[in-house]
Amino acid sequence: MSAVDLTLADALDRLARKDISAVELTEAHLEQMARHRSLNAYLVETPERALGEARASDARRAQGQAGPLDGIPLGIKDLFCTKGVETTAGSRMLENFVPTYESTVTANLWRDGAVMLGKLNMDEFAMGSSNMTSAYGPVENPWRRPGSNAKLVPGGSSGGSASAVAARMALGATGTDTGGSIRQPAAFCGIVGIKPTYGRCSRWGTIAFASSLDQAGPFARTVKDTAILLRSMSGFDRKDSTSVDMPVPDWVKDCVGNVRGMRIGIPRQYRIDGMPAEIERVWNQGAQWLRDAGAEIVEIDLPHTKYALPTYYVVAPAECSSNLARYDGVRYGHRGEGATLTELYENSRAEGFGAEVKRRIMIGTYVLSAGYYDAYYLKAQQVRALIARDFTLAFEKCDAILTPTAPSSAFAIGEKMDDPIAMYLNDVFTVPASLAGLPGISVPAGLGDDGLPLGLQILGKPFDESGVFRVAQAIEDAAGFTAKPALLAS
């Protein structure tokens, strides 16, 4: 078994036993990255830095000073500012932008000894569900439909992260999730991805898309691996006023798959019209697995679910229209030529931003403008409160909620590209929990009719990542998902 096929937990064990060195582990991943460069998952590779960090990690371990993630090679979504390393947010606007500071989340990972392999491709400013909006080209999913050469999307916006972890180009990766940007690509790439409760991970140094929704989280190939990573990434940060000052539990202890006595809610309203049979099948299968493991399955109501997508597509663009105003060509980033100030603004932003980002800035500007604010933004905030209340009431009847992660498996590059609404529907199951700030995980549950992975989503109460991990582990144990991407078989 190659070092790149190890789980993160196994790699830590082997490092501890000195069966493998951090340098060997890092070299194996750097080789894998070179082998699958055509996936376009990495925007920047940092091999020298990675090897330097790996050597330092081995030295620490030799002195008995290894941290919880010491020597673990990770990929970092390009939304996280990394000191001295280009950070583009997948946008031409920030081409060649090199931060002088390190995001809190990545700083926490380096504090615990992790090694950075490079920066991962993503939808521009995290806006997208396919990774097609990146200014640096689409990312390819390492999975293929059996008998087809059609290149598939990895999902988005954290498409590079999901593709890299699925293709064994990292033991784990960071992602961010605003409306499903961790959970949907995890499902599309057959790996695990968790968005913790809003406020668990500091947003400081992570480039903002929609501040009230953005939340960082990890990708890995097992539930336990994501628990290990999330523990390092989380924690109160006084530099982020929305960060929550709560102790970070040792979630690995929750990855035992014991769901006996737990009540698992199945939301009636998630059985949407036209949902593919395979999605329904895997969802029912998941419920059955949990029932078999001793959980009680209860039907629940989340009556405002149908308003979640439109609400999200008012709130998120509104915040993004303001958050992205700082990219004006004046202080940093792309500057267009212009004889007047207005021309400078217009050309900088017209050239620097891609079509999807512009679309959302325009939607956001519209919904906040005088005369429309009450009808759109204010109404959306009110509906958002109702959606959050739906969950509060539902959690009186259950301890966690089980749903599909996405309404389909990965689609081909080029599909759905001309219809933004069809693209937005990808987020139909992930967006409600984002609006409510709840923790949600996607776990691979099996392969669909097209031979591609399908994910199940588990949602928990605020700050009950423990419960989420517990149920996720039970699904993982029952699913026994061992399928590998086509790319790795060849």
Partner 1 sequence: MAELIRGTTGDWEMVIGLEVHAQVTSKSKLFSGAPTDFGAEPNTQVSLVDAAMPGMLPVLNGFVVEQAVKTGLGLNAQVNKRSVFERKNYFYPDLPQGYQISQFQHPIVGKGEVEIDLPDGTTKSIGVTRLHLEQDAGKSLHDQDPRKTFVDLNRSGVALMEIVSEPDMRSADEAAAYVRKLRAILRYLGTCDGNMDEGSMRCDVNLSMRKPGAPLGTRCEIKNVNSIRFVMAAIEYEARRQVEILEDGGKIDQETRLWDTRQGITRSMRSKEEAHDYRYFPDPDLLPLVLEDGLIERMQATLPELPDAKKHRFMGEWGLSAYDSGVLVAEQERAAFYEEVAKGRDPKLAANWTITELLGALNREGKDLADSPVSASKLGGLIDLIQDNTISGRIAKEVFAEMVESGKDAASIVEAKGLRQVVDTGAIDKLVDEVMAANPDKVAEYRSGKDKLFGFFVGQAMKASGGKANPALLNETLKKKLAP
Catalytic residues: 77, 157, 181
Q: Which of 15, 81, 266, 302 touches partner 1 by CB under 8 A?
A: 81
Q: Which of 206, 305, 405, 409 touches partner 1 by CB under 8 A?
A: 206
349-388 footprint of partner 1 as x/- string (CB under 8 A): ----------------x--xxx--x---x-----------
Q: Which of 34, 330, 362, 393 touches partner 1 by CB under 8 A?
A: 330
Where do we find the tokens 């330097």? 52
Could you give the CA distance from residue 384 to residue 161 in angstroms, rounded to a whole number?
29
- Shortest distance (Å) from residue 293 CB to partner 1: 39
Q: Does 319 bind partner 1 (CB under 8 A)?
A: yes
**In this complex, which beta carbon is closest to partner 1, that of residue 332 or of residue 412?**
332
Residue 34 CB: number of other CB atoms within 10 A? 12
- Shortest distance (Å) from residue 75 CB to partner 1: 18
Which of these ranges, 100-108, 216-224, 265-273, 402-410, lies near partner 1 under the rule CB under 8 A? Answer: 100-108
Q: Does 87 bind partner 1 (CB under 8 A)?
A: yes
Helical H segments across 245-340, by residue range: 277-292, 308-323
Beta-bridge mates of residue 173: 75, 219
Residue 483 CB: number of other CB atoms within 10 A? 15
Q: Does 33 bind partner 1 (CB under 8 A)?
A: no
- Shortest distance (Å) from residue 346 CB to partner 1: 10
Burial per residue of 142-176, b for 16 or more beta-carbon CB atoms within 10 angstroms, e otherwise: bbbbeeeeebbbbbbbbbbbbbbbbbbbbbbbbbb
Q: What is the dihedral of CA 419, 422, 424, 429, to 10 degrees?
A: -170
SS3 184: helix
Burial per residue of 447-458, b for 16 or more beta-carbon CB atoms within 10 angstroms, e otherwise: bbebebbbbbbb
Q: Does 210 bind partner 1 (CB under 8 A)?
A: yes
- Shortest distance (Å) from residue 371 CB to partner 1: 9
Q: Which of 101, 148, 253, 393 touches partner 1 by CB under 8 A?
A: 101
- Shortest distance (Å) from residue 240 CB to partner 1: 5
Where do we find the tokens 């999901």? 162
Could you give the CA distance from residue 258 to residue 294 in angstroms, rounded to a whole number?
8
**In this complex, which beta carbon is closest to partner 1, that of residue 17 or of residue 331?**
331
- Residue 327: which residues within 8 A CB-CB, separation 6 or more? 93, 94, 333, 334, 348, 349, 352, 353
Window 283 to 302, contacts with partner 1 (CB under 8 A):
none
Q: Please tell me the total number of residues recorded for the chain in this structure.
A: 490
* # chain residues binding partner 1, by CB under 8 A: 43
Q: 146: which 2 tokens?
A: 């059996």
Q: Does 347 bind partner 1 (CB under 8 A)?
A: no
Q: How many CA atoms lie within 13 A of 304 on its CB side?
A: 24
**Binding residues vs partner 1 (CB under 8 A):** 80-81, 87, 89, 94, 97, 99-101, 103, 203-208, 210-212, 238-242, 318-319, 321-322, 324-326, 328, 330-332, 341, 345, 365, 368-370, 373, 377
